[in-house]
Amino acid sequence: MTVGMPARTGVDRVADVWGERTPHGRGTVWPARVDVYLDAGISAGAVDRWVPSACVLCSNGCGVDIAVKDGRMVGVRGRGTDVVNHGRLGPKGLYGSTPWASSAERLTRPLIRDGGRLVDADWATAMGRVVSRSKELLAAKGPLSHGFYTSGQLFLEEYYTLAVIGKAGLGTPHMDGNTRLCTATAAAALKESFGADGQPGSYTDVEHCDAIFLFGHNMPETQTVLWARVLDRTRGQDPPRVVCVDPRRTPVAVEAERTGGVHLAARVGTNLALMNGLTRELFAHGWTDQEWVTAHTVGVDELRRIVDPYTPEKTAKICGVDAADLQRAARIFGESDAVVSTVLQGFYQSHQATAAAVAVNNLHLLRGMIGRPGAGILQMNGQPTAQNNRECGADGDLPGFRNWDNQQHVRDLAELWNVDPMTIPHWAPPTNAMEIFGYAQDGSIGLLWISATNPAVSMPESARIRKILAGDQCFVVVQDLFLTETGQLADVVLPAAGWGEKTGTFTNASRTVHLSERAVNPPGQARSDLDIFLMYADAMDFRDKDGAPLIGWRTPEQAFDAWRRATAGRPVDYTGLSYQLLRGPTGIPWPVNQDTPDGTDRLYTEPVFPTDTDHCETYGHDLLTGGAVTEQEHRALAPSGRALLKGCAYTPAHEQPSGEYPLLYTTGRTVYQFHTRTKTRRSRSLNDAAPDAWVEINPDDARAYGISEGDLVRVESPRGAIQVRARVGNVMRGAVFAPFHYGFDPEQLHHEPAEGGLSTQANELTMTIWDPVSKQPYFKTAACRVSKVRGGDGPSTAPTTAASAPASVTAVPPTRGGQPTSSRVIPSPDYPNDPAGTTPPASPADMSGRS
């Protein structure tokens, strides 16, 4: 890794979000470039050890080595040999991966609530309280009194252990993760179309496509390294065209215009109408592959009937887009050889989420565009380990993509765990996060255990969530790195070890599994989430049918091996993986088994889908209502390996703008922060780049309301209000955009009493409403009103580098000031499974190509 071009040093990756371009032509390997960040004063030579891992600050899953110096994590280096990132890292990964770990604010001791206050305790006392409450509730009400709410941040071994505790130990269906807020629709859409979860495509599809469609996916901010990969194609020879569906003029929209693609700024809440319009165009112009569709799908006639009314004109009217733009986008999809589609929160957290995401799958199926390089679907995830939550069943599903409605699948698990099948909660669909909080609200869940997530900030309708957590009707356990807004409301707080302080595996949005090794010790008495769950299991003394301990493992590696056995014969096949294999140069995408010992780059290279009634993960749902398809109905349909084309009519969103609340309200992300900023706010580079909440408003609306850049504004919905500074920006007219990261910090209010004690938390305004199939809450469709509170003393601190850029660049200083990083292009190593094979790195001639 020492050969190659000289390193660029002093690179400010706050200012230069995606790094320098390494353009290359279609069908060639994405060049490798190793990005490095080290704390000030630490040179590469001074690092004691580099510990292999993968980044956990988005779902991309970039391979990294953690720099350790004197027992502390002091920086990260991209792994040049990793198939996911070819050495690159984004601003969040570079600047945000390590500083939090040595923060003085870390939780180092358990806390218990005494006399209304949280006070220090030892582990025996804190866990004792949890266990006694748990036993008391089990005796009085049974297992349905217990709820678990986890994360997209834990490791596979932890999810699986918790899933076994919940399903075979306690027997409660009330288990979900915050993955419900971020990735549930990805899973639901894949299950509806293909019979089981599992990302069909691969990131290598980017190298081979001639068109890229991003549906509600602001990739430049949510997966910066994947966007760098796209830019290296769009700036190289034979670039793909980009089509962007987003109500904001994001960098994707700019790239769409630059590449001769289309930006469809569909009105918030109308995604499905747009998709129906696009689908109809494929039928109308004969762009479907009829032979393939007949052989490998069911449902085409019904789909054609459903989308038939969505003429370009009608669709344009519903969505507020130009009919010609819609037709041009459809033509690009219809006439390209290889299309990659990516989908994220703009679809997943919006009205008719699952139906809209399924419609993306439909477009690919109608063209037979799946299973070959460049023709891929990427139903993305938001979080680094969300995939494992789904796989292991910590989201309530049964482990291994098993079908809770299939008696044989339940028996298989009961045999694996050596428990009575009746213990395993399978008599009803798993309880989703929103319902879990509903049960906690009325006290029918009396113990709610929250790990590595901050619902007090991230869940919709914050006031309601705070009340549920603070109330006496439910005992709340919070397990985290810091005393979060949620932790402050808990009855018991357990200090957890974080990334780099424990060992385990996790899987990214393209099914690639990484092993993350422990680099340093956790602070004080903090323990790994696995150890905490095992401590609870021991204290509860869960046993199998023969009286042996239910959980037969002690270490992460043993837990992983138990998980491997649970995946045998299922689509999510880990049987060929081991910690030893994962200690190699790169992460490995599942399925990995005897037939595919090196992993699998893309699924469905043979168009046989896991839809057989006895094999599938679900029998499916009515996309409008969520009504479940029965086993008999599924058998009658006999998909038998064919994919399902499913459609749904568009219905207007549940809350429409009105006289009182005339604007649409939509929430989202910024490139410099992750989630509720638990980690990213503790990085100086990231925090300075986006220190405070803001809202974005269109210049026309700003004029109408007399609002200028930087003014303090009040935004209200029927559920709550926030007071933040305004960015006059690039959101579509009639809509207001708010980043969701910024929690309600009592300290801040204390310093600025003039703000009127108002929260800055975007979810104060959002609704308690979720998708009928995926149960994902709708964060992006509410109505609001905006008023000016007082003039600002300068521009807002919203970043200028991406979608939050000001509409007018004058008088807003550019966002910059990240600590120095370095970047070195290296000769491409051999990337297993890469369909482009290995080629030399881009020559200077290529690099000077289109830009």
- Site map for other proteins, 172-191, x if CB under 8 A? -x------------------
Q: Between 81 and 352, whose beta carbon lies closer to other proteins?
A: 352
Residue 794 CB, shortest distance to other proteins, in Å, is: 41
Tokens coding 617: 């993960």
- Does 434 bind other proteins (CB under 8 A)? Our answer is yes
Residue 532 CB, shortest distance to other proteins, in Å, is: 25
- Does 779 bind other proteins (CB under 8 A)? Our answer is no
Distance of alpha carbon 631 from alpha carbon 197, whole angstroms: 18
Q: Residue 328: is it exposed, middle or buried by C-beta count within 10 angstroms (0-12/13-18/19+)?
A: middle
> From residue 577, how far is each of 72, 199, 589 by CA, in Å?
30, 18, 10
Q: Which of 428, 595, 750, 810 binds other proteins (CB under 8 A)?
A: 428
- Does 103 bind other proteins (CB under 8 A)? Our answer is no
Quickly count: other Cβ atoms within 10 Å of residue 284's Cβ.
17
Q: Of 660, 728, 733, give the one whose Cα is nearest residue 694.
A: 728
Distance of alpha carbon 58 from alpha carbon 79, whole angstroms: 16
**Residue whose structure tokens are 């679900």:** 618
Residue 654 CB, shortest distance to other proteins, in Å, is: 5
Q: Between 337 and 442, whose beta carbon lies closer to other proteins?
A: 442
Q: Between 248 and 775, whose beta carbon lies closer to other proteins?
A: 775
Tokens coding 385: 């380990």
Q: Between 352 and 484, whose beta carbon lies closer to other proteins?
A: 352
Establish whether the linkage from the previous residue to 455 is cis, with ω within 30° of 0. no
Q: Which of 75, 772, 818, 841 binds other proteins (CB under 8 A)?
A: 772
HSE value, Cβ hemisphere, 13 Å, CA-based, for 146: 26
Binding segment for other proteins (CB under 8 A), chosen from 82-90, 233-241, 623-631, 708-716, is: 623-631
Binding segment for other proteins (CB under 8 A), chosen from 161-169, 408-416, 625-633, 828-836, is: 625-633
Residue 268 CB, shortest distance to other proteins, in Å, is: 17
Q: Between 632 and 808, whose beta carbon lies closer to other proteins?
A: 632
Q: Are 648 and 774 contacting, i.e. CB atoms less than 8 angstroms apart?
A: no
DSSP secondary structure of 24-79: --TTSPPPEEEEEEE-TT--GGG-SEEEEEE--SSSS--EEEEEEETTEEEEEEE-
Q: Between 77 and 426, whose beta carbon lies closer to other proteins?
A: 426
Query: Which stretches of 668-791 are DSSP H helices?
Result: 684-689, 699-705, 746-751
- Does 433 bind other proteins (CB under 8 A)? Our answer is no
Q: Which of 102, 444, 488, 555 binds other proteins (CB under 8 A)?
A: 444
Q: Are 802 and 250 contacting, i.e. CB atoms less than 8 angstroms apart?
A: yes
User: Contacts with other proteins: how many residues (CB under 8 A)?
Assistant: 33
HSE value, Cβ hemisphere, 13 Å, CA-based, for 736: 32
Residue 628 CB, shortest distance to other proteins, in Å, is: 4
Q: Which of 626, 662, 827, 849 binds other proteins (CB under 8 A)?
A: 626
Tokens coding 55: 């980044």
- Does 421 bind other proteins (CB under 8 A)? Our answer is no
Per the DSSP assignment, residues forming a β-bridge with 177 are 150
Q: Between 366 and 424, whose beta carbon lies closer to other proteins?
A: 424
DSSP secondary structure of 779-800: -S-EEEEEEEEE--SS-----S
- Does 384 bind other proteins (CB under 8 A)? Our answer is no
Residue 145 CB, shortest distance to other proteins, in Å, is: 6
Q: Of 668, 663, 706, 664, give the one whose Cα is nearest residue 804.
A: 668
Positive or negative CA dihedral for 407, 507, 430, 651?
Answer: negative
The residues in 119-148 that bind other proteins, with binding defined as CB under 8 A, are: 141-142, 144-145
Q: Which of 438, 662, 699, 820 binds other proteins (CB under 8 A)?
A: 438
Residue 274 CB, shortest distance to other proteins, in Å, is: 20
Residue 441 CB, shortest distance to other proteins, in Å, is: 8
Q: Are 80 and 50 contacting, i.e. CB atoms less than 8 angstroms apart?
A: no
Q: Between 175 and 377, whose beta carbon lies closer to other proteins?
A: 175
- By CB under 8 A, name the binding residues for other proteins: 141-142, 144-145, 173, 427-429, 431, 434-435, 438-439, 442-445, 621-622, 624-630, 651, 654, 767-770, 772
